[in-house]
Amino acid sequence: MFGRLFGRKTETPTITLAPSGRVIEAPKGATILGAALKAGVDYPSNCRVGSCGACKSRLVEGEIRALTDFSYTLSADELSAGCILACQAVPKGPVVVQPLAVADSTVAGRILRQDGLTHDIQDITLALDSTIDFKAGQYATLSVPGVAEGRCYSFAHAPQGDGTARFIIRHVPGGAFTGWLFGGDRAGTAISLGQPRGDFGLKAPGPGLFIAGGSGLGPVLSVLETLAAAGDRRKLTLLFGARTAADLYARDRLDALSRQLDLTVRFILSAEPAGSDWAGERGLVTAPLAEMPLPAAAALCGPPAMIDAAIAVLRGRGLAPAAISFDKFTDQSSGGQSSGAQRPAA
């Protein structure tokens, strides 16, 4: 009361990290993750926008304000256990949190080949020194000694256990990693692959919808190829958005998947010149959502604006958050770290 009368400033909330007991201050409006990183804490994180789950933590004490709906990323059991996403949680007062990340590990390898798909997208194949166990839709950090910090990219193929890994990577102007990668033939270069993370894919049985933009097709291909290998027969639809016809790629893989699955692929171009011979759909990749049958589950991957627009329509039509999976791709200028992971992709 006296503080209000005499203009005394409200004390800055504190964040206590368990089990270490370290206490840091949380500047007004800062998330738990943001405050921790500002204080120099090596807090587990990746996308910083609530899609990857790397900053999953347990709220031991206190209250927070959630910037996004945690149920898109966390399960009902995790929510019941008090789990939060530190990158999307703003303390309302003093809080105690415990990060729940698993210790990371890496697999060594080398770049086997680079295949250009469009003017700014490549299909990169790695040869690994040992096999890596991942699930369709996951991503991992790629690191090259002396080349900036590691960047996260989604696996672009079904798990095969053959000691190789493929990634579809877009060149980000000004990005240190992709600037290096696209700057020459990098075959033979040593590279390390971090622990697979993420849980992108269809979260419910029944008809499924995929929406992909740009290099966001990579994890979708991984999931579709895995479904095809399992003999899945549900009805599937893919809306693949690009700027122009020259920006489309992997059409041979999609044609093969359409024969193996009950899959309909719709290519939608947003900036194709009016006088071109393109006879397909034009406009925003999210435009068909208003008239399409509502799916049982949806998996969205690509630019944040595309994903946010798609979620708004799907939620507005009644699709539950638990039935929507998404992976936002950002570059460093968007505030993400370096992949679908908003995974930075610089």
- CATH tag, 2-99: 3.10.20.30
Output the six-digit token pair for 301.
């991957």
Element (H, E) at 180: helix 176-181
pLDDT at 342: 44
What's the pLDDT tens digit per position in 207-225?
A: 999 999 999 999 999 999 9
* Euclidean distance between CA atoms 266 and 147, whole angstroms: 37
What is the structure's pLDDT at 44?
83
Residue 102: pLDDT band with limits 50, 70, 90: low
**Cis omega (within 30 of 0) on the bond before 19?**
yes
pLDDT digits (tens, 9 = 90+) for 47-101: 777 877 889 999 999 999 999 889 888 888 899 999 999 999 999 999 999 998 7
Task: Determine the angle formed by the axes of helices 251-260 and 217-229, rounding to 10 degrees.
Answer: 30
Quickly count: other Cβ atoms within 10 Å of residue 30's Cβ.
18
Q: Residue 144 above 50 pLDDT?
A: yes
Sign of the Cα torsion 106, 107, 110, 111 reads: negative
pTM of model > 0.85:
no
Alpha carbons within 13 angstroms on the beta-carbon side of residue 247 total 21
pLDDT at position 161: 85
The 10 Å CB-count burial string (b at 16+, else e) for 221-249 is bbbbbbbbeeebebebbbbbbbeeeebbb
Pinpoint the residues of the chain covered by CATH 2.40.30.10.
106-194
Residue ranges, CATH 3.10.20.30, the chain? 2-99
Report d(CA 335, CA 195) in Å as an integer: 22
List, by residue range, all CATH 3.40.50.80 domains of the chain: 208-344
CATH topology of domain 106-194: Elongation Factor Tu (Ef-tu); domain 3 (2.40.30)
pLDDT of 109 > 90? The answer is yes
Pick the CATH number of 208-344 from 3.40.50.80, 3.10.20.30, 2.40.110.10, 3.40.50.970: 3.40.50.80
* Beta strands 324-330 and 297-302, pairing class: parallel
Which pLDDT band, with edges at 50, 70 and 90, does 103 fall under?
low
